Amino acid sequence: MAENRPTVLILCTGNSCRSHLAEGVLRAAAGDRLTVASAGSTPAGYVHPLAIRAMAEIGIDISAHHSKHLNEFLAQNVETVITVCGNADQACPVFPGQVNRHHWPFDDPAHAPGTDEEKLAVFRRVRDEIRQTFTAYADGRRDAAKTEAAR
């Protein structure tokens, strides 16, 4: 991970859906301003195919992402931890160098009932909610950096 960029770690329990949606959105929105990663407290071992499909629809490719355990990041300098589900918030350790912690819960689309199309509709809704929240976060980080640079 780049040394001069703050690291933002997005956590969820399974690291198969929401955290990857958020990682993809934040990485795209923040550009080279942040190093963005995701992990889980109990990784599922895969990225949900409907998450990959929903992100591809908005031009973000997460097909190379993989499910990771949060312990992989304990020795890294993580500046901000963002949890996107209730269980990860409760299981979240403190990371070395951690300055910020945010908890922004979203529905878990992996548990959506129905046909594949009905499930995909839930993935799209959650993706859009995550996109709105994490794009605003990236914009806020960018504005704060501009203010700091102007001082």
Q: In what order do the strands lie in the sheet with 100-103?
A: 35-40, 7-12, 80-83, 100-103
Pick the CATH number of 7-135 from 3.40.120.10, 3.40.50.2300, 2.40.50.100, 3.40.50.880: 3.40.50.2300
Catalytic residue among 39, 85, 122, 126: 85
Is the pTM above the cut of 0.85?
yes
Q: Is residue 85 annotated as a catalytic residue, yes or no?
A: yes
Q: Is residue 92 annotated as a catalytic residue, yes or no?
A: yes
CA distance 23 to 35: 10
Backbone angles phi, psi at 11, to 5 degrees: -115, 145
List pLDDT tens digits, range 61-114: 999 999 999 999 988 889 999 999 866 556 666 676 767 889 999 999 999 999
Q: What local confidence, expressed as pLDDT, does residue 68 receive?
A: 95
CA distance 105 to 90: 12
Catalytic residue among 9, 10, 12, 29: 12
Q: Is residue 12 annotated as a catalytic residue, yes or no?
A: yes
Catalytic residue among 84, 92, 120, 130: 92
Q: What local confidence, expressed as pLDDT, does residue 93 receive?
A: 66
CA atoms within 13 A on the CB side of 141: 22
List pLDDT tens digits, range 25-47: 999 999 899 999 999 988 999 99
